[in-house]
Structure 1
Amino acid sequence: MKKWNQGVIAAALLLGTVLPGGVHAQDLSQPVALEQMSRDEGGGHLKFRQRISAHQTMYMTLLAEKYTPESVDEWKQVLKERDRLIEEMRAAKEASGEDREWMAKREERKKIREELRAKVEKGEITSDEMKQELEKWKEKNFPGKAGDDQARRAQMEQFRAVYEEFDGAIQSGDSAQIKAVMPKLLEQLKAKNERLAKRLKEVKK
């Protein structure tokens, strides 16, 4: 039982890298720097993430088999769909050059932030004014993203509540509690897939 519980805890930790914030702390519906992922020789970082994904699939399938056997096939299908969407997203971003553009914007934002922070330290502007300037920059360079960020944060709060419930169930070792939270985790993964599929369509336009 101890070994099983350790496996379940590992599953919770690994699953947490995917659902609450994407491959935490990256939301896979947002641009991912392919250059960073493959900077190790042979794309070591990417291969590592692929291995982690395989572990996540195994752990969550084991959980489903033990606590919600009636949903095992659905778990397998949804996890498979997640992996397909992630791979398609990587390919689409690489083909569109979006990641390179995103990296350039990221560097630009970093420079602007540093300049604004220097002004705050000199007393030329307030911290609130700095935030406002950064929001203006974001809206100019990523129109509509501010609203999307709000929706994503709200979704993350819902995810976090379920993960706290899941963590409590694991800590207690209560089979009934674990069984009750598994369907909620599955629904979260479906929601993540829907978000990723929507983002994929936008990238492919």
Structure 2
Amino acid sequence: MLIVVLAFTAFSFVQAEENTAEQRDCHHECAMKFHKEFHVHLDYYYDLLAEKYAPEHLDQWKEIKKERDLLKKKWKEAKKRGDVEKGDLFNQTWLEEHEKIQEQFSNAVEKRDAEAIRDVLPKLFSHYQKMNETWKKALEASS
């Protein structure tokens, strides 16, 4: 009887570990899907705001977005091949600037402050262009 209980307990533990690994995989896949879907919505939101508040920057934004998507694809392919390391790509300065611009953008949108939105959108787009430049340099260095 004791052997049966121990075997059952051990099997339950292994099964629990397997479920945990499956749950982690599922969580990762779900998070990746959410991230991808979220960016589709966010890009469209930026399109709409640019059309309304900064139409002179709309073409610039569309080019930045197109280039970003291509660079992200190249980056993922390079990672799969092992050509690039998984380290942090963006330095502290870029991250601090990102946080500052995102805060300005969020405040402007929350207040529905048209002038502030007009002011921050070009900064936001320029910041994304810097992100593209960072990816380009990293990809060139890995080649």
**TM-score, normalised relative to structure 1:** 0.51
Flag the structure with more relative contact order, 1 or 2, with Cα contacts below 8 A and sequence separation at least 6.
1
Residue 74, structure 1, aligned to residue 60, structure 2: yes
State which of 85, 97, 105 in structure 2 corresponds to 1:166.
Answer: 105
* Equivalent runs, 1:40-119 vs 2, <5 Å: 40=26, 45-96=31-82
The counterpart of 1:199, out of the listed 129, 132, 138, is 138
Q: Structure 1 counterpart of 2:108, which letter?
A: A
Residue aligned with 1:189, SS: helix
Query: Structure 1 residues 181, 98: closer, same or farther in 2, change over 3 A?
Result: closer
Task: Label 1:181 to 1:87 Cα distance change in 2 as closer, same or farther (>3 A).
Answer: same
Q: Percent identity?
A: 31
Aligned 8 A contact 2:64 2:128 in 1: yes
> Residues 161 and 45 (structure 1 numbering): CA distance in 2 closer, same or farther, change over 3 Å?
closer
The answer as to whether partners of 2:98 and 2:127 remain within 8 angstroms in 1 is yes
Moved runs in structure 1, 4+ residues, more than 6 A? none
| Structure 2 residue 129 is matched with structure 1 residue 190 | yes
Greater gyration radius: 2
Residues 168, 44 of structure 1: CA spacing in aligned structure 2 closer, same or farther, 3 A cutoff? closer
Cα distance change on mapping 1:88 and 1:157 into 2, 3 Å = same
Question: Cα 1:44–1:160, aligned 2, differ >3 Å: closer, same or farther?
Answer: closer
| Aligned CA distance change for structure 1 residues 67 and 91 (closer, same or farther; 3 Å) | same
| CA-to-aligned-CA distance 1:137-187 (integer Å, 9 cap, x gap) | xxxxx8xx8xx87xx112211222222221221222110111111100011
Query: Using the alignment, how far apart are the partners of 2:37 and 2:49 within structure 1?
Result: 19
SS at match of 1:93: helix
1:75 is displaced (CA, Å) by 0.7
Q: How many residue pairs align between the two structures?
A: 119
Distance 1:46 1:163 in 2: 22
Looking at secondary structure, tell me which structure has more helix per residue: 2
Counterpart residue type for residue 59 of structure 2: D
Contact 2:84 2:139 in 1 (8 A): no
Unmatched 5+ residue regions in structure 2?
1-24
Which residue of the partner structure matches residue 155 of structure 1? 94
Cα distance change on mapping 1:172 and 1:49 into 2, 3 Å: closer
Aligned equivalents of 1:88, 1:98: Cα separation in 2: 11
